Amino acid sequence: MAKKGKLIGIGVGPGDTELLTLKAAKVLESVPVIFSPKSAKEKKSIALSIVTPILEKRKDYKRLMVVEPLFPMIEDQQELEKYWNSAAELIANYLDSGRDVAFITLGDPSIFSTYSYTQKKLANRYEIETIPGITSFTACAAAKNEPLVEKNDILTIVPKIDGRLDNFLEHSDSIVLMKASRNTKELESAIDEKNRPKEVFSVQNCTQENEKIVEGFSTEKPYLTTTIIKFTDD
């Protein structure tokens, strides 16, 4: 029986192709199948556009297999499960045929990544390797030349606001609001009014050509917006 392929999860970083790791670039220079989910049929996957400059250098670029399944941005868990299952089966077909599959994902594969849902469905059945990537929040801090945390600071990464936020506003030293485009004015006011001295900045499209750093919460909020709150009391 032919040897089965390996699934390789690759974090492609926040936007700049140069923020791929050497390890990721090496895989992308030779892997036969690239798996790049997208959130809407008419949109190009951001992860795919990040790796395209690497892929284009390949001699076999025109014959390269790029699979772009739809992973819609919906909240319905049962519906989502169907998409992940069919993606996992699609990947399994390639692995069974002996081909390695690189699953590319924005940022890092272990931080709110669709890779993790798919990967779990293939665990124990296939060899899996996960290559970490630059997360958006450290790239945002780097873009502003400012540390996220120092000394004994505690850092909290919040993907979506829920009732627990107030607790973190009380006890964390730095807070990263991922996908800040979902913030509401009310939430921002609540944070602003919190009785602790703080610095707030937002980074839009970090490391991409249209990167923009703004003080405070941003009024325009493209999808890739991150807000960082640093409390300055001791």
Taking residues 158 to 197 in sequence order and writing x for each that binds a second copy by CB under 8 A, - otherwise, the string is: xxx-x-x--xx--xx-------------------------
Nearer to a second copy, 150 or 186 (CB): 150
76 near a second copy (CB under 8 A)? no
Q: Which of 147, 197, 216, 222 touches a second copy by CB under 8 A?
A: 147
Residue 219 to residue 233: CA distance in whole angstroms: 26
**Candidate list 60, 79, 89, 153; residue touching a second copy; CB under 8 A:** 153
Given candidates 90, 117, 194, 221, which one binds a second copy under the rule CB under 8 A? 117
Q: In what order do the strands lie in the sheet with 33-35?
A: 65-67, 33-35, 101-105, 6-11, 127-131
Which C-beta is closer to a second copy: that of 52 or that of 156?
156
Residues numbered 27-46 forming contacts with a second copy, rule: CB under 8 A:
none
130-164 b/e (C-beta count within 10 Å ≥ 16 → b): bbbbbbbbbbbbbbeeeebeeeeeeebbbeebeee
Asked if residues 5 and 99 have their Cβ atoms less than 8 Å apart, the reply is: yes
Rounded-to-integer distance, Cα 223 and Cα 205, Å: 8
Interface residues with a second copy (CB under 8 A) are: 9, 11, 13, 16-23, 25-26, 108-113, 116-117, 119, 123, 128-135, 138-139, 141-143, 145-160, 162, 164, 167-168, 171-172
